[in-house]
Amino acid sequence: MKINLLLIFFVAISTTLPAQNNEEKHLKNVKQLTFGGDNAEAYFSFNDKYVSFQSNNPKWGLQCDQIFYLDVNKGLSNPDERPSFISTGKGRTTCSFFMPGDKQILFGSTHLANDSCPPPIKPYLNKYLWAVYDTYDIFVSDLKGKLVKQLTTEKGYDAEATISPKGDKIVFTSTRDGDLDLYVMDIDGKNVKRITNQLGYDGGAFFSPDGKKLVFRASRPKIEEEVIEYKKLLSMGLVAPTDMEIYTCNVDGSDLKQVTKLGKANWAPYFTPKGDKIIFSSNHHSQRGYDFQLYMVNLDGTGIERVTNNSIFNAFPMFSHDGKKLIFSSNRNNAPGSRDTNLYIADWVD
């Protein structure tokens, strides 16, 4: 999901704001969990006691994203403390998720290709772009950082993996068939099945609470110029994520539906605890592009409601499995001039 590039671009301006304001009626007892760098994609363990996440915090000796996990009740004893390290420390990592049983963590990594972080992408046509590194594969590590399994070995980009609440399936994004599509496989990496097949970037997918549906972000180039540009960028290992909408489908790919038609970038979706709504991040309201807030919407695209009003970047929301907590990334509460993005956890008020 290439969070660092996103944050560098969209969090170009930081503001000094309190950690909570009275307009955020769905959030109560907001607590800051990290204190420096870019911290994102924090996802709860099955028992809701821990979260795995990625960070590039330079105080922890990092050059690019690596994977950590954290006890959400204890937090960090001090802002400079480094939490439990899960990834190898080599290459670049993304999109971690606890495996069933909470003894192992899944994540994407480029470490097999090179010990160093992949080089930053070069400017192209003055566009904001994400790199789709074809050296990403999906791995499983134990809680001490020892790799126990490699789940993907196909040539091309394999990343953005998440796990069903039922603990039986993994959904991920891959370029193995020439486009950025969604695939589902068994928890052991077997029985891989492609479930999207329309031209465009399908990614950031999550299962519904009952494990029967998926929600994800997608771009859909339509006119000839858009199609040509999309294919050209993809051939260069790039994608422009500035025009995305939210979609849902069944786990087998059937009943595909477009939920939002808001324009600009709508992404980082997640089902609400009852499975009847979707929470997501969007800049559709913004005149400047980099103001991202959390919204909720019904599955049919009606009833959109703004959830956050604090700071200019709020994204990557995930509910605890019991539905009582929401964790998300935000640049609220930053010191003047800081561009940090930290993890926050809050009680969810329905």
- Report pLDDT digits (tens) over 255-310: 999 999 999 999 999 999 999 999 999 999 998 768 999 999 999 999 999 999 99
Residue 134 is part of a domain; what is its CATH number?
A: 2.120.10.30
Taking the C-alpha atoms of residue 303 and residue 72, their distance in angstroms, rounded to an integer, is 32
Residue of 138, 37, 46 lying closest to 83 (CA atoms):
37
Mean residue pLDDT across the chain: 93
In a domain, 198, yes or no: yes
In a domain, 68, yes or no: yes
Taking the C-alpha atoms of residue 285 and residue 34, their distance in angstroms, rounded to an integer, is 28
Which structural domain, as residue segments, surrounds residue 138? Answer: 41-326
In a domain, 235, yes or no: yes
Distances (CA, A) of 173 to 124, 180, 182, 203: 24, 6, 5, 6
Summarised one tens digit per residue, pLDDT across range 201-232 is 999 999 999 999 999 999 999 999 999 999 99
> How is residue 10 written in tokens?
């969209």
In a domain, 6, yes or no: no
Residue 15 has pLDDT above 60, yes or no: no
In a domain, 141, yes or no: yes
| Contact predicate 289/264, CB 8 Å | yes
In a domain, 331, yes or no: no
146 — phi, psi (to 5°)?
-95, 125
In a domain, 14, yes or no: no
In a domain, 333, yes or no: no
* The pLDDT of residue 13: 37
Torsion angle, alpha carbons of 79, 80, 81, 84, to 10: 100
Q: How many domains does the chain have?
A: 1
